[in-house]
Every structure is written in structure tokens, then in C-alpha cells.
Amino acid sequence: MTAWVKNPLGYSLGDQKIPKANSCKYLGIILQSNLNWVDQVNYTVQKAWKAFHFVKSVLKKGNRNTKI
């Protein structure tokens, strides 16, 4: 039986070394290696601002029925 993990401090798959990541996005949530939520909060705020500006531009251009 061949072991997939050769070095417990540096993981590898076969002969390919798997690089360490400080953060990754999994199921829509940004996970950080230091368990900090700053990137997730900033990402969520950025998405909210984009949605807000989109709605604001639609309402600015629209007529009364659009605004209702």
C-alpha cells in the first residue's frame, strides 16, 4: 500500500507537492488558516454594495411603476 502523504509538514499527492493556502473559498464562505473572518466580511459587504448600486441605478432610471 502506497502512502499518499509523504511528509506530515508538507503534503504531497504522488510526486506533486500541495501548496499551503492562507485562505480558500468553500461553499461560498472564505475560510482563513488563522480563523479570521475579515476576508469573508469584506467579500459580503462588497457584494451588498454592488447589489445596492444596481438597485439604485434601476430606480433612478425607472418610472413610477418600476419604483413601486
Flag whether 46 is in a domain: yes
Position with higher pLDDT, 3 vs 11? 11
Show the domain range for 63.
23-67
pLDDT for 50 equals 97
Flag whether 6 is in a domain: no
DSSP secondary-structure letter at 18? P
Per-residue confidence band for 15, with pLDDT thresholds at 50, 70 and 90: confident
Cα separation, 32 vs 38, whole angstroms = 9
pLDDT for 42 equals 94
Query: Is pLDDT of 9 > 90?
Result: no
pTM of the shown model? 0.59
Helix (H) or strand (E) holding 17: strand 16-17
Per-residue confidence band for 1, with pLDDT thresholds at 50, 70 and 90: very low
Q: How many independent structural domains does the chain possess?
A: 1
